[in-house]
Amino acid sequence: MLNRVVLVGRLTRDPDLRYTPSGVAVANFTVAANRPFRNQQGEQEADFINCVAWRKPAENLATYMKKGSMIGVDGRIQTRSYENQEGRMVYVTEVLAENIQFLESRNATQQRSGSDYSRNEQYQHQSQGQVGQGQSQGAQPSNQPSSPFQNDGEQIDISDDDLPF
């Protein structure tokens, strides 16, 4: 028998880090994972999957990732039940995350929010021909980040010991 789950998606909210009475860290979080097809209207749909992580992975997740961060989760499905305050049985199905991979840096997450978002949105409007006041056609904002591939094809100086494979 096999119970294995692999997810790649974005956090829908900041991880909720708590500690048990004995001091063990536990983080609850939800991953939005896109479905591999589009609906009849041509829109991409997503599933919102509840997950839980324990101990050091939980602390690392809460420290380094936040809403919108892309993560990979490897774990298993677990079900549990409890009786709520009204006396009803509540059944919960969630992914017990055994391994969590951070698929982008904290800086990448921060760049998608705040002023960087409005700057990117402004650039997109300009490239679509919607030039703002006081700017000439085809002008780009001076604070636009340079291309990470501008030196593509050039040799870089890195030792074999630094390679991850």
**Cα–Cα distance between 30 and 12 in angstroms, integer?**
6
- Give the pLDDT score at 116: 43
**Cα–Cα distance between 60 and 56 in angstroms, integer?**
6
CA atoms within 13 A on the CB side of 101: 9
pLDDT band at 134 (very low <50, low <70, confident <90, very high): very low
- 3-state class of 162 per DSSP? helix
Distances (CA, A) of 45 to 31, 34, 60, 67, 101: 13, 6, 29, 18, 23
- 3-state class of 66 per DSSP? coil
Q: Is the dihedral of CA 11, 111, 56, 165 positive or negative?
A: positive
Domain range list for the chain: 5-104
Distances (CA, A) of 132 to 112, 143, 144: 22, 15, 16
Whether the pLDDT of residue 23 is over 60: the answer is yes
> Tokens standing for 70?
């892309």
Whether the pLDDT of residue 122 is over 80: the answer is no
Average pLDDT over residues 114-124: 41
Q: What is the per-residue pLDDT across 40-70, written as a single tens digit (0 to 9) for each?
A: 888 888 999 999 999 999 999 999 898 989 9
- Could you please state the CATH topology (level 3) that the domain comprising 5-104 is classified under: OB fold (Dihydrolipoamide Acetyltransferase, E2P) (2.40.50)
